[in-house]
Amino acid sequence: MTTSSTPPPPDPRRWIAFAVVLAAGFMDLLDVTIVNVAVPSIQGDLQAEYSQLEWIIAAYVLAFAAVLITGGRLGDIYGRKRVFLTGMAGFTLASAACGLATDPTMLIGSRFAQGAMGALMVPQILAIIQTTFPKEERAKAIAVYSGVGGSASAVGLALGGVLVQADLFGLGWRTIFLVNIPVGIAGFVAAWFVMSDSKSATPPRLDPVGMVLAVSSVLLLVYPLTEGRRLDWPAWTFVMMGAAVAVFAAFLFYERALTRAGRSPLVDLGLFRSRPFAVGLGAWLLFWIAMGGFFLVWTLFMQGGLGWSPLRAGLTSALFAVGAGVGAGLSVGVLAARYGRRVLMIGALVNAAGFALYGAMGVRYGSEFTSWQMALPLVITGAGFGMVVAPTLDLLLGQVPVREAGSASGLLNTGQQLGTALGVALVGVLFFSVLDRDSDRGVESVTPQIRAELAVEGVPVGVQDQIVAGFAACVHDRSAEDDPTVVPASCNPNGVGGEAVSRMLGEAGAEANAVNFAESFRHTLFYGIGMLLLVCLGFFALPKDARLEQRMLDDEPETVTI
């Protein structure tokens, strides 16, 4: 056996292979948010309850988080190309199942499968970059991947709106999933021919027990949060949330036992010896709880509250993408290398400022809120988002030893997915509770106009009182529904006042709905602001001299030739 310090020549097809895995990674990350803008269309077509819609969103990220670390280990053991191709094929088939779903249950199950298959693909991407590119090119490849990944969430909303509105071949919302089929097939074929394979020389063992315990603890928490409001919070929902804590404690105990036995735990608890990394991970989790909830209620506000089409909502979200691109470019290219942790802190505060402005403007303009009026708060929110997302992984990886960078990266990615799922569940409880509680606000805002128009129509005062009372009952009952699109009995026309009055009440109802949605939107953004302030404090725990981490790029082991 001879040892040489000269690395082997780089694979001449490395950039083509990188383009393939980049497209696959973008397609995977796109599907985290692309479904948000299609939620009203899915609800109308499949007659889904709102709790089911939350599961359609959360199922993907929960499955992704559950399989992510194990997916990386499978690549180390069986070969990254083989596992990547398996994930690509499974993701394509699961996308087809999503597009062909005939009921909410089938769609939720398909989304679980889609997320799990995505979690087989994504861990291989960084591993392939690490093993395929020479160290002088690796930083550029990782920067491109980070930029593409950071923009996928925002682009998903815009692309989803375009696809739903285009209604290609009469498929409506189904195209957001079916479009993955030709992309997946092309990516599979290209990867088969241009991607080289690699394995870890010392692959870690699988930890199926740890994975089951971790997933169980999350599901025991997310399920009652998602279903509790619809079922009026029965006792078993609180029992499940308590059980989630017990199962999570069992998970920690089991992982510690594996570590002491010298085996490979799912989560390397030794990472938490670094206090800055542990606190930073907590801040990263809170950030995605805030953003996961925002993406859900944002699209609900635009389509459910303002009555916008998916196309208008999707194209408006492009303003967020513009801000995210600017924020990411400045933070990685200019600011993070000079100012370190302060960029993350400022990004969280800028994001919070965007939330505050957006909520205030939503209440101010109500149903008259236009896309161009949303431009300023969306660009500010997006800029803060980009400033946090783009450099965080590198800065936090700098807080752990180089040998633990792979485990830390997997944990950070898992935190992102879990945070998104928890954000959807938590904000669903808050948003619809506020919508129910404050429904009288919308009634009060339109009642003077209703009375004025009824007087013009010559409706007697006594009849006016009857009409206004019925209108208030309708708005309240509709806001209290588990599914706000359901028309309760109190909203059925009773013939009082004729066609002109019915039309006027319909317009007043839309205005009251917009006011109520705007108020609920503002409340949930306050919740997000609180989360982002905690995020800012968490990033403050990073060392003052934290900079973009390049050690894992520069520490290259000698090449061993046998």
Instruction: Look at residue 224 and tell me whether its pLDDT is greater than 60.
Output: yes
DSSP state of 128: H
Residue 455, pLDDT above cutoff 80: yes
Counting DSSP H helices and E strands in the chain, the numbers are 21, 2
Orientation angle between helical segments 498-540 and 275-300, nearest 10 degrees: 170
Q: For the residues 64-80, what does the mean pLDDT come to?
A: 84
Q: Would you place residue 552 in the very low, low, confident or very high pLDDT band (cuts 50, 70, 90)?
A: very low
Q: Are 501 and 454 in contact (CB under 8 A)?
A: yes
Contact 48, 393 (CB under 8 A): no
Residue 36: predicted pLDDT: 78
Average pLDDT over residues 146-153: 66
Fold: same for 1-206 and 267-435+521-562: yes
- Angstrom CA distances, 309 to 152, 161, 313, stand at 21, 8, 6
* Mean pLDDT value of segment 486-515: 75
What fold is seen in the domain 1-206? Growth Hormone; Chain: A; (1.20.1250)
Phi, psi of 73 (to 5 degrees): -70, -35
The candidate with the shortest Cα–Cα distance to 390, out of 341, 429, 332, is 332
Average pLDDT, the chain: 82
pLDDT at 537: 92
pLDDT at 499 over 80: no
Could you count the other beta carbons within 10 Å of the beta carbon of residue 237? 18
Output the pLDDT for position 227. 84
Print burial letters for 366-394: b (CB count within 10 Å at least 16), e (below 16): bbebebeebeebbbbbbbbbbbbbbbbbb
Angle at 458 between CA 452 and CA 460, to 5 degrees: 90
State mean pLDDT over 419-429: 86
Question: If pLDDT is split at 50, 70 and 90, which confidence band does 62 have?
Answer: confident
CA-derived radius of gyration, the chain: 25
Distance in angstroms (rounded) separating the CA atoms of residues 206 and 201: 15
Residue 562 clears pLDDT 90, i.e. is over it: no
Identify which of 13, 71, 331, 93 has the alpha carbon closest to the alpha carbon of residue 207.
71
Place of tokens 């709790």: 51
CATH number of 267-435+521-562: 1.20.1250.20
Residue 427 burial (CB count, 10 A): 26
Block residue for tokens 């930029």: 147
CA-CA distance, 135 to 360, in Å (whole number)?
A: 48
Going 229 to 233 to 234 to 238, the CA torsion angle's sign is positive
- Which residue is listed with tokens 């597009």? 99
For position 153, what pLDDT does the model report?
65
Q: How is the chain split into domains, by residue range?
A: 1-206, 267-435+521-562, 439-515
E strands present in 249-379: none
pLDDT tops 60 at residue 134:
yes
Greater model confidence, 425 or 117: 117
Whether the per-residue pLDDT at 122 is higher than 90: the answer is: no
Least confident of 61-70, 114-123, 329-338, 422-431: 329-338
Query: Residue written as tokens 């935190």?
Result: 415
CA distances from 158 to 155, 291, 310, 382 (A): 5, 16, 9, 14
User: What are the residues whose beta carbons fall under 8 Å from the beta carbon of 283, sequence distance 6 or more?
Assistant: 534, 535, 536, 537, 538, 539, 541
**Tell me: the pLDDT tens digits for 290-299?**
998 898 888 8
Q: What is the pLDDT of residue 154?
A: 65
d(CA 500, CA 150): 50
Distance in angstroms (rounded) separating the CA atoms of residues 539 and 530 = 15
Cβ-proximal residues to 421 (8 Å cutoff; 6+ apart), any chain: 58, 61, 62, 65, 218, 222, 292
Report yes or no: 58 and 115 within 8 Å, Cβ to Cβ.
no
CA 98/CA 357 separation, integer angstroms: 36
What integer is the mean pLDDT of 317-327? 85
